[in-house]
Amino acid sequence: MHQQHLDATFAALADPTRRAILARLASGQASVTELAKPFAMSQPAVSKHLKVLERAGLISRGRDAQRRPRRLEAKRLGEATKWLERYRRLWERNYQRLDALLEELKTR
């Protein structure tokens, strides 16, 4: 199940429009109309992006009278960050070893 969550998260994050929507939601909840404003696309097209983000668990839909504001859900982003962090640490260790080797070669 965890792998499916990661797959859905990274698939959702692969699109620049969806990343922009998440960036907007990081500053607070917004309606579909508010989220669609900066994009040169129809509201139904933005709604499709929102559905992908919802299925990935990256956003949720609230209820405020007639509005259905979307809000950012950080849990899935946290899971993706943890997954990426393992590889960042691996590459950091590799670069540290390379730096040490280059330093050793300079002193020879």
Q: What is the CATH number of the domain that holds 85?
A: 1.10.10.10
In the chain, how many domains are there?
A: 1
Computed from CA positions of residues 62, 63, 64, 70, in that sequence, does the dihedral angle turn out positive or negative? positive
pLDDT reported for residue 104: 87
Domain of residue 81: give its range: 2-107
pLDDT reported for residue 39: 92
pLDDT tens per residue, range 21-50: 999 999 999 999 999 999 988 889 999 999
Name the residue type at position 47: S
pLDDT reported for residue 1: 56
pLDDT reported for residue 68: 84
Tally of CA atoms within 13 A in the half-sphere of 52 that contains its CB: 20
Rounded Cα gap, residues 60 and 102, in angstroms: 49
Q: Bridge partners of 64? A: 67
Residues of the chain short of pLDDT 70, as ranges, are: 1, 65
